């Protein structure tokens, strides 16, 4: 991999400039007003595939945004790596909290990234991380050192639930035939504490609507006489956790796989400072389910959170009114073996049941997905571990993450393939938040590490 690494060093500036161009395209999948820019981003990516020398490049149309496909098959008898990532990004709002415009990338130094970080929506999630794979493959191809076949499948709807990718995967099993799926869309513990993500949580997402009277009412004439949907919703939400921080929905924990004491002790070895955690978030104290650590609460335990709540008068000054309706968006993060449809059904049943007769409730399900875990004794994991050891000089720690990439469970079910999650972002990189960024160290370390994965994956496949 000498020539590959030399190529990367020589082309470092160009790689960064190309990422900057990609980050300038506002490919916000959730907001229909960005429709043409999301489509442009797919075309731009297909062109990048062409530039690095991939074959069979295709912009695969779906009922939503396209999936960009490309491959390099050097020898059918060699193992094949299927790279997955997404070119869509989260909405940038609230815009005024950004210190520089979200789609005008700039490089700034931070305490955590003294070598600089690139600030832009999608810098870490996932354009910056997905682009590392293009550049790593470019470097291997240009140096004649690509050890495996490679297929790229980059979608434009990850941030809105990957609904059309699920259909695409089911309909294109032959095209997607591979030995392993490789994804960089997660994080690692710290720049000097490399880690490989071995688990993702599942998700069940619902929107609730509580209706009281059929119109908004004068709060003096009617206050105290009719149900106020906002008061009622607040009480209903408050009742969804018990005094131990457990989710109070009957059946919610029925299928949860509990970790053994040994597994929990193993997990607790990962470095974690409660003090630094609180300090970074300006908190006096953390909270969560009793008898579990913060790391556990955020990875191996299921949770329920209100993501948004609205209703009534929120304009200037005071308006004395009882609103007719109140709303909330609620996410439940799931762990193995919880089933998202079943959890949504349990929630819906329970929410209807606890509603007083004075209101009507409506529960609208949104997207969801199953949790996924990766074994650490597989060839794929070993190859990743060896690759990190080579580039970071130390073995990575296996860590289960709290985030979700619902398509990973589907890859396993439909394609029978395990996914290796080689994430290079940091939790402090502010993904989905204002001032999202990605460390230059992380970007280049990713490009440096990925080729070693290919090398060791090939070697371990022929000689396990
Ligand atoms: N890349 C993230 C997921 C992630 C980030 C996992 C960091 C682990 C560590 C992904 O783009 C994402 O945001 N997923 C959504 C779910 C999706 C269905 C919208 C999430 O986790 O909220
Ligand atoms: Mn992502
Ligand atoms: Mn995301």
Say how many C-beta atoms besides its own lie within 10 A of residue 395's C-beta: 13
Which tens digit of pLDDT belongs to each residue from 404-429? 999 999 999 999 999 999 999 999 99
Q: Which atom of ligand 1 is nearest to the CA of 367?
A: 18
Q: Which domains are present in the chain? A: 2-200+371-462 (3.40.630.10), 204-256+302-368 (3.30.70.360)
pLDDT given for residue 59 in this prediction: 98
Residue 406 CB–ligand 1 contact under 6 Å = yes
* 316 part of the active site: no
Ligand whose nearest atom lies closest to the CA of 127: 2
Which tens digit of pLDDT belongs to each residue from 224-272? 999 999 999 999 999 999 999 999 999 999 999 999 999 899 889 889 9
Which residue's CA is minimally distant from atom 18 of ligand 1? 161
Assess whether pLDDT exceeds 90 at residue 321.
yes
Which tens digit of pLDDT belongs to each residue from 78-95? 999 999 999 999 999 999
> How far apart are the C-alpha atoms of 137 and 451, rounded to whole Å?
7
Which tens digit of pLDDT belongs to each residue from 194-217? 999 999 999 999 999 999 999 999
Percent of the chain with pLDDT over 90: 98
- Name the nearest CA neighbour of 199 among 47, 93, 301: 301
Ligand whose nearest atom lies closest to the CA of 128: 2
Q: Ligand 2: distance of its center to the CA of 164 in Å? A: 16
pLDDT given for residue 99 in this prediction: 97
pLDDT given for residue 441 in this prediction: 98
Q: Ligand 1: distance of its center to the CA of 353 in Å? A: 31
Q: Ligand 3: distance of its center to the CA of 126 in Å? A: 7
pLDDT given for residue 267 in this prediction: 87
pLDDT given for residue 283 in this prediction: 98
pLDDT given for residue 40 in this prediction: 98
pLDDT given for residue 13 in this prediction: 98
Active-site position among 126, 157, 158, 179:
158
Ligand whose nearest atom lies closest to the CA of 408: 1
The pLDDT-based confidence of 464 (bands split at 50, 70, 90) is confident
Assess whether pLDDT exceeds 90 at residue 11.
yes
Q: How would you write the chain as a 3-class SS string?
A: CHHHHHHHHHHHHHHHHHHHHHHCCCCECCCHHHHHHHHHHHHHHHHHHHHHCCEEEEEECCCCCCEEEEEECCCCCCCEEEEEEECCECCCCCHHHCCCCCCCCEEECCCCCCCCEEECCCCCCCHHHHHHHHHHHHHHHHCCCCCCEEEEEEECCHHHCCHHHHHHHHHCCCCCCCCEEEECCCECCECCECEEEEEECEEEEEEEEEECCCCCEECCCCCCCCCCHHHHHHHHHHCCECCCCCECCCCCCCCCCCCCHHHHHHHCCCCCCHHHHHHHHCCCCCCCCCCCCHHHHCCCCCEEEEEEEEECCCCCCCCCEECCEEEEEEEEEECCCCCHHHHHHHHHHHHHHHCCCCCEEEEEEEEEECCEECCCCCHHHHHHHHHHHHHHCCCCEEEECCCCCCHHHHHHHHHCCCEEECCCECHHHCCCCCCCEEEHHHHHHHHHHHHHHHHHHHHHHHCC
Residue 405 CB–ligand 1 contact under 6 Å = yes
Mean pLDDT of the chain: 97
Residue 161 CB–ligand 1 contact under 6 Å = yes
pLDDT given for residue 367 in this prediction: 85
The model carries a pTM of 0.94
Which tens digit of pLDDT belongs to each residue from 99-149? 999 999 999 999 999 999 999 999 999 999 999 999 999 999 999 999 999
Residue 269 tokens read as 């070895």
């Amino acid at each position: 991999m000498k020539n590959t690494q030399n190529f990367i060093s020589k082309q470092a500036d160009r790689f960064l400039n190309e990422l900057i161009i990609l980050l300038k395209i506002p490919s916000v999948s959730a907001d229909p007003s960005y429709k043409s820019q999301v489509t442009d981003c797919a075309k731009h990516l297909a062109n990048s595939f062409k530039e690095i020398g991939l074959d069979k490049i295709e912009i695969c149309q779906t009922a939503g945004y396209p999936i960009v496909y490309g491959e390099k098959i050097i020898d059918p008898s060699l193992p094949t790596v299927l790279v997955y990532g997404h070119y869509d990004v989260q909405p940038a709002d609230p815009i005024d909290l950004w210190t520089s415009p979200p789609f005008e990338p700039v490089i700034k130094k931070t305490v955590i990234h003294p070598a600089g970080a690139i600030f832009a929506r999608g810098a870490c999630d996932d354009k910056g991380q997905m682009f590392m794979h293009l550049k790593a493959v470019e470097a291997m191809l240009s140096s004649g050192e690509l050890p495996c076949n490679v297929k790229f499948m980059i979608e434009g709807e990850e941030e809105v639930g990957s609904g059309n990718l699920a259909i695409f995967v089911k309909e294109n099993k032959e095209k997607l035939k591979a030995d392993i799926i490789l994804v960089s869309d997660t994080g690692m513990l710290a720049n000097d504490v490399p880690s490989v993500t071995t688990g993702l949580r599942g998700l069940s997402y619902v929107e609730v609507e509580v209706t009281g009277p059929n119109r908004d009412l004068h709060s003096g004439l009617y206050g105290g006489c009719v149900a106020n949907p906002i008061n009622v919703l607040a009480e209903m939400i408050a009742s969804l956790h018990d005094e131990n921080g457990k989710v109070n929905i009957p059946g919610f924990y029925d299928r949860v796989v509990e970790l053994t004491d040994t597994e929990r002790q193993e997990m607790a070895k990962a470095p974690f400072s409660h003090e630094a955690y609180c300090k970074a978030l300006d908190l006096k104290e953390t909270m969560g389910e009793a008898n579990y650590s913060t790391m556990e609460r955020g990875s191996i335990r299921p949770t329920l959170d209100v993501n948004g709540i609205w209703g009534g008068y929120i304009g200037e000054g005071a308006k004395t009114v009882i609103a007719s309706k109140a709303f909330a968006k609620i996410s439940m993060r799931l762990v193995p073996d919880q089933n998202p449809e079943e959890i949504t059904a349990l929630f819906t049943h329970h929410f209807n049941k606890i509603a007083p007769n004075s209101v009507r409730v409506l529960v609208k399900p949104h997207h969801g997905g199953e949790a996924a875990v990766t074994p650490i004794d597989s060839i794929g994991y070993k190859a990743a571990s060896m690759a990190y050891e080579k580039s970071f000089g130390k073995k990575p720690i296996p860590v289960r993450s709290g985030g979700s990439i619902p398509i990973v469970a589907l890859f396993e079910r439909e394609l029978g393939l395990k996914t290796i999650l080689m994430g290079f972002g940091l939790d402090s990189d502010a993904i989905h938040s204002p001032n999202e960024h990605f460390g230059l160290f992380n970007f280049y370390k990713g490009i440096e590490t990925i080729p070693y994965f290919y090398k060791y994956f090939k070697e371990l496949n022929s000689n396990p």
